[in-house]
Amino acid sequence: MSAQDNMVPVTILTGFLGSGKTTLVNRILKEQHGHRIAVIENEFGEAGVDNEILLHDTDEQIIEMNNGCICCTVRGDLIRILGNLKRRRDSGELKFDRVIIETTGMANPGPVAQTFFIDEAIGNYYLLDSVITLVDARHAQSQLDEFHEAQEQVGFADRILLSKTDLVSEEEQETLRKRLVKMNPRAPINSVHFGNAPIDEILDIRGFNLNGVLELDPAFLEEDHHEHNEHVRSFVFRSDRPFDGAKLEEFLSGLIQIYGPDMLRYKGVLHLKGNAHRVIFQGVHMLMGGDLGRPWDKDEKRSSTMVFIGKNLPQDLFIKGLEQCLVKAQ
């Protein structure tokens, strides 16, 4: 039995904003596959809402890091959280067989992967199994043109999963596949529909090959400094007052008509008047949708949290408009 057999495998799940990472994690947590998984999740922006989107009725340990991009805090927070998970697992307090790190859509996965080779204690306990990159077939061409982070995510992938292929023609898919192969010839490309990928295409694939990465990027193990695209910003809207559903839908529809191309990602947990359930809404560019979430508990304080990530969005206009959609205080 090799030393690797005793190590905890780690999968880094990356992909640009709105590519379907949370949907995939949700699907993995829901499926009866016998794996016990700890999830480390990171949001770009000051408020994380994915804990509402992720399932609550699972035994998995979900940790949210919303104090900035995981690649910015990789030397501190990620090492600390992995160390804390190790301590709790060794003491029997937590039971998990593997870890999934879901990075923010604006992250370069390189510094996350570096952690497992630079910190000896982490590197001896955890085995970096693979970097899985989700690519949004509908929006990938423009994202790859505009954002170096999207290119880095493809470049680092051990596997590429194409999402939203039902929204593009076969010809567009083929053009995108050719571009991805040029960028990263070593990563197999498969399609994934609403997170429905075979589990053996994601876990235990031993896809991360340090030598392969060093061939692509000889500076991989050197210290990394990066800056996010300065035009990309996030802001949050919160309210304890309920929304008028019809007004909100009309306002959001108008927003995406005007600002959709610059709205990279927007999502939230909504308190709608007359609805006993929270409403989970998510969107990418011009595509927007909502689903019923779990019911509000009887004694639970009801509120809405919405996160918008985009390029040069007029924050004041968005917030004033959303306030106009709230039910007037009695």
CA atoms within 13 A on the CB side of 180: 29
Tens digits of residue pLDDT in 120-162: 889 899 998 998 999 999 999 999 988 888 888 888 888 999 9
Q: Structure pTM?
A: 0.71
Instruction: Using alpha carbons, select from 260, 261, 271 the residue that is nearest to residue 295.
Output: 271
pLDDT of 138 reads 93
Q: Is the pLDDT of residue 47 over 60?
A: no
Q: Where are the alpha helices (DSSP H) in the chain?
A: 21-30, 50-53, 79-90, 109-118, 120-125, 140-146, 148-155, 170-183, 210-216, 245-259, 315-324
Q: Under the phi-then-psi rule, with left for phi > 0, alpha for psi from -120 to 50, and beta for the rest, what region is 284?
A: beta
* 178's tokens: 């050719």
Q: Which amino acid is at 107?
A: A
Residue with the larger pLDDT of the pair 209 and 108: 108
Average pLDDT score over residue span 248-261: 91
Domains of the chain and CATH, by start: 3-216 (3.40.50.300), 232-324 (3.30.1220.10)
Average pLDDT score over residue span 5-33: 84
pLDDT of 71 reads 41
Average pLDDT score over residue span 211-235: 59
Task: Give percent above pLDDT 90 in the chain.
Answer: 30
pLDDT of 104 reads 77
Q: Is the pLDDT of residue 219 over 70?
A: no
- Lowest mean pLDDT: which of 204-208, 219-223, 233-237? 219-223
Tens digits of residue pLDDT in 175-193: 999 999 888 877 889 988 8
- Lowest mean pLDDT: which of 103-107, 133-137, 169-173? 103-107
Residue with the larger pLDDT of the pair 86 and 77: 86
pLDDT of 277 reads 92
Residue with the larger pLDDT of the pair 44 and 308: 308
**Could you identify the residue written with the tokens 């990472």?**
21
**Confidence tier at 227 by pLDDT (50, 70, 90):** low
pLDDT of 304 reads 92
Residue with the larger pLDDT of the pair 58 and 163: 163
pLDDT of 255 reads 92
Q: Is the pLDDT of residue 278 over 60?
A: yes
